[in-house]
Structure 1
Amino acid sequence: MTSAAPHTPNDAVDLPKSWDPSAVEADLYQGWVDAGYFTADASSDKPGYSIVLPPPNVTGSLHMGHALDHTLMDALCRRKRMQGFEVLWLPGMDHAGIATQTIVEKQLAAAGKSKEDLGREAFVEKVWEWKRESGGQIQGQMRRIGDGVDWSRDRFTMDDGLSRAVQTIFKRLYDDGLIYRAERLVNWSPVLQTAISDIEVKFEEVEGELVSLRYGSLSDDEPHVIVATTRVETMLGDTAVAVHPEDERYRNLVGTTLEHPLTGRRIPIIADEYVDPEFGTGAVKITPAHDPNDFEMGVRHELPMPTIMDKSGKIADTGTEFDGLDRFEARVKVREALAEQGRVVAEKRPYLHSVGHSERSGETIEPRLSMQWWVKVDELAKAAGDAVRTGDTVIHPASQEPRWFAWVDNMHDWTISRQLWWGHRIPIWYGPAGEVECFGPDETPPAGWEQDPDVLDTWFSSGLWPFSTMGWPDATAELEKFYPTSVLVTGYDILFFWVARMMMFGTYVGQDEAVTARPEGAPDEGATVPFRDVFLHGLVRDQYGKKMSKSRGNGIDPLDWVDRFGADALRFTLARGANPGADLSVGEDHAQSSRNFANKLFNATKFALMNGAAPGDLAPRESLTDADRWILDRLEQVRGEVDGAFDRYEFSKACEALYHFAWDEVCDWYLEIAKVQFSGEARAETTRVVLGNVLDALLRLLHPVIPFVTETLWKVLTGGESVVIASWPQPSGVEADPVAAQRIQDVQRLVTEVRRFRSDQGLKPSQKVPARLVGVDDADLSAQLPVIASLVRLTEPGEGFTPSAAVEVRVGGATVTVELDTSGTVDVGAEIARLKKDLAVAEKELATTSGKLGNEAFLAKAPDAVVDKIRTRQQVAREEIERIGARLGELAETKAR
């Protein structure tokens, strides 16, 4: 328990009049950084806990997906730090090869230059210059939302240390036969003139045309086939027509050849089970160099694979009149040429179909045969899958596991080369006599050898992120203390692309002594994986459940919410909606609600401080009031719920539990009861300590999610240095008091019913009403009379007290009747309407219970305890009907008078 000098009532409280996040957040954050709270000590005796930040692109800015990611990681790290762990949250950025090179090339183009004008070395230096001056905007934004990262260990995927890791693992994979060079089909960007990864291809529904064209004779009596295509220009690269081997329509044509209508080549008709005989005409054109499925068929049948487009997407090397045309111009010209020959059988326009587009440049992706470097993934993917199967790495939620296995168990070899200048240069060198050699970071190529011009896919270097950032391939203190990392937090949408690559590389280097070294006497954990847990959250959607996008105009800038509502409001909104694997919808109303919560917490704590509340040693349990014991027990229950939820990555449940405890129980009930207890000298001091302890623990429990307001309040409440380094609330070890809980529950029900009655009668909240409570002793609530009277504004009845209205509430196994003198203030009509509603509820309950008790089948199967409970409910309903009926009769007489 945090101890502090007790406050006295009405002390000057060192808090502003109201909570203004913009006035304090920046200074609070810088204070945390300057104090070194986020700097990890690899030599510490504390148990290690580590998370590596998924590196945002150096070109990027904070969006809602980032904000969710960062909020959840920060919450985990702040809690673990408070629990006594040595926490490393390691930040960094990705060099983002394509995106960064594109930005600099556009700047050069605006000045009338190209990268070729500068040359490779000067261009790369230009990119570094841009990075130093303009890159990394997102890091300032991370500070604004409170990211507690270790800035002293900030990493960049092109740093010297990380470059060394890239060269080291490339050589190991190459020497092990897991990296090779081959001509395969890739996603080709004609604008960027490079291969791109699957994750950089976005499929969109577009309107095109479906052209059915005729191969072979134009006479129906002579050999011919009809095929359909949405990319008629690719027929210039056709090297076969395929049919299903059991399709009787084409059985006599299989093995024969037909003349290509435009090139004059003879192309075979082949049989392959891939062809669906029920789709279209049952015949398909095969262009192996420009379609993934055709490529596989071309390999199986050893077909020629002519590439008919150059790097810019222009028709080339076909020997036809179409050479030099852009692919889309050629589409029109080829269709027209075929139509002139009478070979266009049908055209369907518009024809809606899915087409891949480059995420970076926006143009249509061209599947293209290209010589590239590849990673052979069979062994690596199996190890990544086995790590999850054996439980070395656990995926949360488990419902995502089938998607993981479906991906890693069916992974294709990975193309890792990019035709760019910005990135990790492939460490392959070519000698003058045709030699090919891979050189590691500590090796020097012979004079006169030339390095491969391509660079590596950025996913290659980011796949090493968990261990390269800690100094691998060297054995470092960071690897010894913090690797494997504790958890990877990321969206399920990049489960396959990034997570799979980290798992493949992590398991590959898993037996390396640099990552398996342990302090003397420490258990050998067999560090074969990059992270113990993988927590997958969903996508952030707008308040209507729509995916946020620029085209829809429904994107939300998280920094706009920080400006308007505060960083805590942004964070609480996101964490409160974060369930494992599920998308969350957010809107401005959610952010306003979170801001209101921070304000409520601020005002409640300020009120408590003004009344002298402070944490300290609690009085003996038996000397506390029912309300004191109830709120302390509820705090302990909520602490347990929050701990369990955090351990299961159920951020939403943790936030909901804390929100409702803070607002509904501490603010709405205990603070109101505390006002009564403050007024009596005998109870005032114990109430101040109870309230101080509850707020102290509540602020610590809330701190991981809303760090700024909790830091501000906790320091004033406790006089402590910082809640960032405060201890996490521990189990109280005190047995809960169910009797006190029941009494407070009865008080709440009684107060709620009387408040409802007052509201129905139009009584002002502050208006005091003479009243007498009957049956309080039977309900064991006599000690609560001062609280009840205060909460519902009741005063002692004077001489000649004549009640004009009454509210009966069944509590504690008894009925408490509150008789009130509301002469001249009660709206008889409103009271009759209220009672009629209550009567309808009681009658429905009687009908339901009577129906069950009249059902012989139910009575024969139901346990005795269940039947007894229903009989009790039936009896209570009868009593309610009788009571309400009598009261309605009295009011009817009053109205008649």
Structure 2
Amino acid sequence: MDKTYQHNNTERKILNFWLENHIYHSNVNSDKKTFSMVIPPPNVTGSLHLGHALDDTLQDIICRYKRLMGYEVLWLPGTDHAGIATQNVVEKMLQKEGITRHQLGRDKFIEKVWEWKEQYGQKIINQLKSLGASCDWDRERFTMDEVLSRAVKKAFVTLYNMGLIYKGKRIINWCPRCSTALADLEVEHEEREDKLYFVKYKFLENPDHFITIATTRPETIFADTAVAVNPKDKRYSSVIGKKVIVPMTQRTVEIISDERVETDFGTGALKITPGHDPIDFEIGKDHNLEILIAIDLDGKMTELAGELKGLDRDVARRKSIEILEESGALEKVEDLHHAVGHCYRCKTVVEPYISEQWFVKSAPLAKKAIEAVKNDTIQFFPERWEKVYFDWLENIKDWCISRQIWWGHRIPAWYCNNCNEIIVSENEPKSCPKCNSTDLKQDEDVLDTWFSSSLWPFSTMGWPEDTEELKRFFPTSVLVTGFDIIYFWVARMIMMSLALTGKEPFKNVIIHGLIRDSQGRKMSKSIGNVIDPMEIIEESGADALRFSLASLSNPSGQDIKMSKEKVKGARNFANKLWNTARFVLNYKENFVSYDITKEEITNMEPEDIWILSRSNEVKYYLCKKLDEYNFSAASTEVYNFIWDEFCDWYIELTKFRIKNHFKEELAFKILFFTFKQSLLMLHPFMPFITEDLYRRLPDNKESITFETLKEFNLPLNLEKLENMSTLIEATKSTRKLRSEYKIAPNIITEPILVMSDDIKNNFNTEIEKYCFLTRSKNPQIVNEMPTNLRGFALERGNLITVLIYLEKDELEKSREIIEKNIQKLLKELEISKQRLMDPNFLNGAPKEVIELEKEKLEIQKKSVEILERKLSFLK
């Protein structure tokens, strides 16, 4: 066994062992209890970032824990074809070769995308494996697989036949760069500074008079078909019905009244451009207004713009302002801070556009999805995220699911060129069912990526076929994800699953926060604070990264502050565990069995009973907290048990017993038993090192995965625990004194221990252990405090007071150290006092900062008092 822990070698070796032996393959015929999860499929274009690492670490912890609790676990992995994102990547690659997708043609381009996917698509999967994700990799899925593609077609046709999918002309979000429609959720609204232009529209009957409207988009004036005012706005009641001349055109439009006009925005008069604004589109429908288009699909001006035809919309804006200014139609310009919609992929400003698209009628689906959460069929953790879920579903709009790209699931709809019939079918029709014509053409569009993702929990298990996987593992048990895709994915999975299978897709939804830097800032390449998880895995190991993420996560779902420094603590823990294993395995030849007999229980030392009872308590606490999805509390408890109790106490006392040949065989049994239990409890958080060390233990199974987390279930004499408590307190107090007063390790002290007779009776049997642990000899045990304490260092505990006499040299050194510390504290105390007397600080600082300063002052005062008392004993 290597002297130091080499995480890279260990993790590489263990990962190969897991994969080669299919350790995490799920058995549909197992007689165990069932637990299942599906991984939120990362984009095939992606690389592992800290968000993925957190998400998949938490899922893996749950799966490994459930295996240890005796469940048959399926954690199904896979990737998403990521329509727009993947197409953009491949198009950029082709651009370098001087080729466009249109030059290649649809079929050849799709071939290129598949080639790219085969070459690069496994990158993020391999990274997830490096993280230790215990998925059933034999069942890996891809949203464009044949089985999933069949499910997508079945879902589309079923929903269409239910009247829940339709084709309609509506105003949609259009990305001129990606040349496709976007769903409302795919539009990111970014705050920015802009201009609000006040433009005069002259009255037709009296051109000397005008009505002023305010707009941020003067380039769309060419497509105006009305001016609207609110009927309750008395300022404009006399002009309703009158005609005005649209600036930059020779057209006239009517002033109409509509209650949707906001009276407090701009002038209270609104230009209505149904072809370029969603609200205007709705107003236009209700008033039967003509729809004109001034900007085309490429973001360029149409013939409607006259001399501005062909200009980019941004250039046209500047030109429009010049024309309005020259003609005297521009009244004034004001600054405006507002949100502008951008494409979530390429960040281009989205253009509202009238288009015929396919939509999912969402309200009927949303109703069942709301009920499923309200009646606790599905539960959110933390519960507060239910409100976010309800708010969106209760105000849901129809979902635009068609995309004008080539990579994706092509819409299973055909058009008859003879009679215009639309045929929606899972299989390509040979002829039109209406007129028998064979002149059919398939819809060119593909489905929104989120459509196939919404089927993920059941399509991955073979739906619509009634597969063994579907019968055994669906509905799934838990979904773990971030709050940012509650709308995009979580709600849609629930809607689709209830509509298509009649079942909920999962029972519990765990929502975690986002990862931020140590200062709470969002990680960004521009700031330079992005932490690459693969770098951390290389530097400190996947186990260290996983443990850090688990210990930082919180049950309230708040954002996590992350830094590389925090990973170092977990790396040190792995090193500590490795060194502990070297000590334990050094006595492998002394191993007899993990089983402890009733006779051996009666012969146990206090530390044996203590470590076994603590192991039981920690196991119970671990299970309770993981059942509550409190990963931080669970991981911290296991960490403290292994480091502070098993390593720092039981192993040290085992060394005493080995040295003195005192009940060695029993000590070895409990040493191996507790070490094995420690590995099992730590395994969900740090799977690589625990698997490696477990496989080195005697009498093991093929993998730690096949173990069951059990508790020590024989009765223990808990009365002896008092002896251990006394030993721990006496040892801690003595060690603290040795540390504080810089007593050299080679010096053996003769302490005085002050304790009551009851405690003395418990402690008498532990004196030799105490001396071993504290480098002491001949301790005096007395009932009362000595009257002359001069020259003594003193430490008061709850039950015991420890005194150590200091020699002249030690006395002088200790006095010097304490005096320096007192002077330092007095300076800090004076600074705090002055600060709390400063009116600028008291009036300007936040209340919590002032309270912290007050607390700091009180702590400093108490610290000075303690040190002065200690100094008085040393004079």
The normalised TM-score by structure 1 is 0.86
Q: Does 1:607 align with 2:583?
A: yes
For 2:752 and 2:251, the matched residues in 1 are separated by 106
Q: Structure 1 pair 342/485, CA: closer, same or farther in 2 (3 Å)?
A: same
Q: Which residue of 2 aligns with 1:658?
A: 638
Match of 1:861?
Answer: none
Q: 1:591 to 1:273 in 2, by over 3 A?
A: same
* Residues 775 and 817, structure 1, Cα contact 8 Å, conserved in 2: no
1:530 partnered with 2:505: yes
Structure 1 residue 707 and structure 2 residue 693: aligned? no
Contact kept in structure 2, 1:701 and 1:728, CA below 8 Å: no
Is the Cα–Cα contact under 8 Å of residues 157 and 426 in structure 2 kept in the other structure?
no
Verify the 8 A CA contact 1:804 1:819 in the aligned structure 2.
no
Distance 2:868 2:357 in 1: 87
Is contact 1:78–1:724 with CA below 8 Å preserved after alignment?
A: no
Deviations 1:233-253 (A, max 9, x none): 122222222322222211112
- Quick one: distance in 1 between partners of 2:87 and 2:822? 74
- The residue aligned with 1:763 is 743
* 1:409 aligned to which of 394, 401, 404: 394
Counterpart mapping for 1:593-742 below 5 A: 593-611=569-587, 616-618=594-596, 620-733=600-713, 739-742=719-722
The residue that corresponds to 2:765 in the other structure is 783
For residues 219 and 826 of structure 1, what CA distance do their matches in structure 2 show?
106
The aligned residue for residue 107 of structure 1 is 93
Matched with 2:834 is none
C-alpha spacing 1:369/1:818, structure 2 compared with 1 (3 Å):
same
Deviation of the 1:382 alpha carbon? 0.9
Shift of 1:496: 0.9
The equivalent of 1:152 in structure 2 is: 138
Deviation per CA, 1:553-600, whole angstroms, max 9, x where unpaired?
A: 211111101100011011111111122422111111011111111111
Matches of 2:661 and 2:230, distance apart in 1: 94
Output the CA distance in 2 between the equivalents of 1:760 and 1:113.
Answer: 74
Deviation at 1:883, TM superposition (A): 13
**Structure 1 residues 832 and 357: alpha-carbon distance in aligned structure 2, compared to 1, 3 A threshold:** closer
Shift in Å, 1:741: 4.2
Structure 1 residues 344, 489: closer, same or farther in 2, change over 3 A? Answer: same
Q: Given the superposition, is the C-alpha separation of residues 742 and 354 from structure 1 closer, same or farther in structure 2, using an over 3 Å criterion? A: farther
SS of residue paired to 1:235: helix
**Following the alignment from structure 1 to structure 2, what is the Cα–Cα distance between the partners of residues 737 and 291?**
78
Does the C-alpha gap of structure 1 residues 804 and 681 become closer, same or farther in structure 2, counting only changes over 3 Å?
farther
Is 1:464 aligned with 2:479?
no
Contact 1:696 1:718 survives alignment (8 Å): no
Shift of 1:70: 1.2
Distance of 2:428 and 2:524 partners within structure 1: 47
Q: Matched residues in 2 for 1:889 and 1:164: separation?
A: 85
Q: Which amino acid aligns with 1:492?
A: F
CA distance in 1 between counterparts of 2:740 and 2:619 reads 38
- Equivalent in 729, 753, 759 of residue 773 of structure 1: 753
Distance in 1, matches of 2:344 and 2:380, equals 28
Equivalent residues of 2:174, 2:350 under 8 A apart: yes
Aligned partners of 1:746 and 1:811 also within 8 Å: no
Aligned CA-pair RMSD: 2.8
Q: 1:387 aligns with which of 369, 372, 377?
A: 372
Structure 1 residue matching 2:663: 3-state secondary structure: helix
Contact 1:761 1:830 in 2 (8 A): no
CA contact (8 A) 1:804 1:823 kept: no
Is the alpha carbon distance of 1:777 and 1:805 closer, same or farther for their aligned partners in structure 2, counting shifts above 3 Å? farther
TM-fit CA distance, 1:329? 0.8
Instruction: Give the structure 1 partner of residue 554 of structure 2.
Output: 579
Tell me the distance in 2 between the aligned counterparts of 1:711 and 1:34. 15
Which residue among 363, 372, 378 is the counterpart of 1:378?
A: 363
- Say if 1:882 and 1:93 are closer, same or farther in 2 by CA, change over 3 A: closer
The residue that corresponds to 1:493 in the other structure is: 484
Distance change in 2, residues 1:806/1:136 (3 Å): same
Deviation at residue 701 of structure 1 after TM alignment: 0.9
Percent of residue pairs identical: 41
Partner residue of 1:262 out of 241, 248, 266:
248
Q: Matched residues in 1 for 2:560 and 2:627: separation?
A: 20
Distance in 1 between residues matched to 2:663 and 2:714, nearest whole Å: 21
CA displacement at 1:330 relative to structure 2: 0.6
After superposition, residues 414-433 of structure 1 pair within 5 angstroms as 414-433=399-418
Note the C-alpha offset of 1:834.
11
Return the match for 1:444 from 429, 439, 453: 429
**TM value normalised by structure 2:** 0.88
- Superimposed CA distance per residue, residues 750-796 of structure 1 (whole angstroms, 9 cap, x where no aligned partner): 33332232233221234322334343744232222222222221123
Residue number in structure 1 paired with 2:803: 818
Q: Are the structure 2 counterparts of residues 25 and 302 from structure 1 closer, same or farther at C-alpha, using a change threshold of 3 Å?
A: same
Worse-matched range after superposition: 726-735 or 328-337: 726-735
TM-superposed CA distance for 1:434, in Å, is 2.9
Query: Counterpart of 1:621 in structure 2: which amino acid?
Result: I
Instruction: Indicate which of 214, 219, 222 corresponds to 2:200.
Output: 214
Q: In structure 1, how many angstroms separate the alpha carbons of the residues matched to 2:311 and 2:207?
A: 36
Q: CA deviation at 1:500?
A: 1.3
Kindly indicate whether structure 1 or structure 2 has the higher relative contact order, using CA contacts under 8 Å at least 6 residues apart: 1
Partners in 1 of 2:774 and 2:230 — Cα distance? 83
1:245/1:743 CA distance change after superposition, 3 Å: farther
Deviation sequence 1:674-708 (CA, Å, 0-9, x none): 32233232332222222222111111011111111
Letter in 1 for 2:457: P
2:562 counterpart letter in structure 1: V
Partner of 2:124: 138
Equivalent of residue 324 in structure 2, options 310, 314, 338: 338
CA distance in 1, matches of 2:866, 2:242: 96
Work out whether residues 771 and 803 of structure 1, in 8 Å CA contact, stay in contact via their aligned partners in 2: no
Contact 1:543 1:587 in 2 (8 A): yes
Change (3 A) 1:197 1:883: closer
Q: What SS is found at the alignment partner of 2:354?
A: strand
Q: Distance in 1 between matches of 2:73 and 2:673?
A: 27
Tell me which amino acid in the other structure corresponds to 1:151.
W
Distance 1:415 1:770, change over 3 A: same
Q: In the alignment, what sits opposite 1:398?
A: 383
Q: Which residue of 1 aligns with 2:446?
A: 455
Structure 1 counterpart SS, 2:809: coil
Q: Structure 1 residues 698 and 263, CA, compared in 2 at 3 Å: closer, same or farther?
A: same
Give the stretch that moved more between structures: 666-675 or 585-594: 666-675
Change beyond 3 A, Cα 1:247–1:483: same
Check conservation: 1:187, 1:366, Cα contact below 8 A: yes
Q: Secondary structure at the match of 2:28?
A: coil
Match among 514, 534, 541 for residue 539 of structure 1: 514
Inter-CA distance 769–834: structure 2 relative to 1 (3 Å threshold): farther
**What's the counterpart of residue 93 of structure 1?**
79
**Matched positions, count:** 816
Q: In structure 1, the residue corresponding to 2:558 is in which secondary structure?
A: coil
Q: Which stretches in structure 1 are left out of the alignment for 5+ residues?
A: 1-14, 512-527, 841-880
What is the distance in 2 between the residues matched to 1:353 and 1:394? 36
Q: CA deviation at 1:221?
A: 10
Task: Flag the 1:368–1:882 CA change in 2: closer, same or farther, 3 A.
Answer: closer
Q: What's the CA shift string for 1:855-883, capped at 9, x where partnerless?
A: xxxxxxxxxxxxxxxxxxxxxxxxxx999
- How far apart, CA to CA, are the structure 1 residues paired with 2:769 and 2:636? 28
- Would the alpha carbon gap of residues 421 and 692 (structure 1) be closer, same or farther in structure 2, given more than 3 Å must change? same
Partner residue of 1:524? none
- C-alpha displacement of 1:885: 10
- CA distance in 1 between counterparts of 2:518 and 2:702 reads 36
- Any idea what the Cα deviations from partners look like across 1:715-749, whole Å, max 9, x if unmatched? 21344134432323224345676654444344333
Correspondence for 1:548: 523
